[in-house]
Structure 1
């Protein structure tokens, strides 16, 4: 998988791995931690995630896989029932007092169980402390682990969601001639791109006479790389994009990129391995001049979690 790098703004949030848990806080100070599979475990394993909103009143939500289990299920920490819930769509959700009670019990616990399946709590206390610090809760009565005596009023509110101007795509994409493609290949500086590349160049109408062209730039078993170009008036230039792959040295790189004509969003999904339990995904909107990041998710550890954690969120404002 090609690692992604931040070319300029946006300033994304942070993430960390602690034991059997991954945790991240995004630019809005919304934090989430998710469990990772324990290697070589003989027990039936499930996964869980815990999220917390920022600000003095920000509470927890705990979501646990229920598999095929039905009815009222007991969630236990080290064998002691802490809460009960009924699964919907394969998960059990706990909020309010139930979620707070679960989190409090996790801090000194070692195993969480639901419907005879288990989750290791190794590292969960450190992940909760990471959230305390990321949301400015350390030393206040609202902290999960780093508790103090300062009142809830001392916890800062989450920042406002960044707003990104966006245009909706439309029309028909411009035709890409052989000569124009040859120029694009030279500008891309991508040695893997060849006339016999099995991956076709993709072209999408951005509206206003602009076309997004994704030039193939090498591929593997589960990742297809491409360099984004902006085509106007029969000319092509490397697209301006504020967050992208390492690139070829000459241009940015996108992995498994696609343009959704219904939402006018460009997305990427770079997988660290075939089952998709690690990697990085990003979504962008077009403002008429450049592509701007509106969401970024990642998972650094290839340990069974398909719940990639968000580190950036912006709101597109379509004109």
Structure 2
């Protein structure tokens, strides 16, 4: 559990005394924000596993998802993928999502058949989803049916039961009536409540970005041990205002067939320094000496820095991250992963935080 921030503690004490707290001065707010950043535990993304033809993972909020995988030699993608998500807590329900890989189009099946048994899908949640899950746990294959019961795709259910059992374990459902596979006699009240999502106090990205001088840029590249980039690769730094007078400088550092790794620096009051982050970022820097955080295929938009490290060019495996700036360092607000390069580009969330802008 996260410790209360200084500002939160002041407000709680004031509430207990029955008096209204005095407005916090800007300096006090900055001190409280810095203290919160220092005392907040580092992010711990949830675990992932592979069971047969299914990849499964849970985030830090105990929300779990299992995703179907194509065959080992299936290139580029299976016709349809299925994601099964279950919410946390005693009342956590199932939701189904059918997608066309590599496309924004979602499939809206009228039904599925599992080992020949037809199951109507008037909705993709609630009782209809529960009936499908119950049959998946004991089935061998699932056929997706569109309008007119036209078959669209066939999915392997190898490993589905093990993945569902793993979710039961992660969510504390074993031996309860809410379990999908590991059912028991205990009531739903035996299932632990959903964990509280961590809160990140992030600065609103305002102000004007400052660009590093040529001398500063060269020094940044040396500090990050950047490679000589091939002709045609992006070689100039990006600058983005972080708020509070600070600028994020994204320095292209090394490139591969489908990944561009960039080092991260902060420019403030004419001086530069390596950025700090509360979680491992991008691809770990090589070599000895002080490390510099790096991101892959970086994108800055709306006050968020994203990293998308592909495991291969098809983008059906890798790690995606989102960071926000809290005034002191970059904080991981989202992370999703796909550890199997088997045709499913829909990554599974393993970390989610709630971002509050100030």
* Cα shift readout 1:180-204 (whole Å, capped 9, x = no counterpart): 1122122212344699964321111
Matches within 5 A, 1:1-319: 9-40=42-73, 45-65=79-99, 73-85=110-122, 94-115=124-145, 116=151, 117-192=153-228, 198-243=234-279, 244-245=281-282, 246-249=284-287, 250-260=291-301, 263-319=302-358
Relative to structure 1, is the Cα distance of residues 295 and 81 closer, same or farther in structure 2, using a 3 angstrom cutoff? same
Relative to structure 1, is the Cα distance of residues 253 and 94 closer, same or farther in structure 2, using a 3 angstrom cutoff? same
SS at match of 1:147: coil
Please report how far the alpha carbon of residue 122 of structure 1 lies from its aligned counterpart in structure 2 after TM superposition.
0.5
Q: 1: distance between equivalents of 2:324 and 2:57?
A: 23
Relative to structure 1, is the Cα distance of residues 65 and 183 closer, same or farther in structure 2, using a 3 angstrom cutoff? closer
Please report how far the alpha carbon of residue 251 of structure 1 lies from its aligned counterpart in structure 2 after TM superposition.
1.6
SS at match of 1:292: strand
Residue 190 of structure 1 contacts residue 248 of structure 1 at CA under 8 Å; is this kept in 2? no
Residue 229 of structure 2 contacts residue 235 of structure 2 at CA under 8 Å; is this kept in 1? no
Please report how far the alpha carbon of residue 252 of structure 1 lies from its aligned counterpart in structure 2 after TM superposition.
2.0
Q: 2: distance between equivalents of 1:302 and 1:276?
A: 8
Task: Give the structure 1 partner of residue 25 of structure 2.
Answer: none
* Cα shift readout 1:145-192 (whole Å, capped 9, x = no counterpart): 111111110000111111001011122211211111122122212344
Relative to structure 1, is the Cα distance of residues 183 and 94 closer, same or farther in structure 2, using a 3 angstrom cutoff? same
SS at match of 1:213: strand
Q: Which has the higher helix share?
A: 2
Unaligned 5+ runs, structure 2? 1-40, 146-150
SS at match of 2:263: strand
Task: Give the structure 1 partner of residue 36 of structure 2.
Answer: none
Q: Which has the higher strand share?
A: 1
Cα root mean square deviation, aligned? 2.3
Structure whose CA Rg is larger: 2
Q: How many residues align?
A: 302
- More RCO (CA 8 Å, sep 6+): 1
Residue 37 of structure 1 contacts residue 45 of structure 1 at CA under 8 Å; is this kept in 2? no
* Cα shift readout 1:64-84 (whole Å, capped 9, x = no counterpart): 247999987221101110223
TM-score, normalising length: structure 1: 0.89
Q: 1: distance between equivalents of 2:58 and 2:191?
A: 15
Q: 2: distance between equivalents of 1:169 and 1:160?
A: 26
Please report how far the alpha carbon of residue 282 of structure 1 lies from its aligned counterpart in structure 2 after TM superposition.
0.4
SS at match of 1:277: coil
SS at match of 1:128: helix
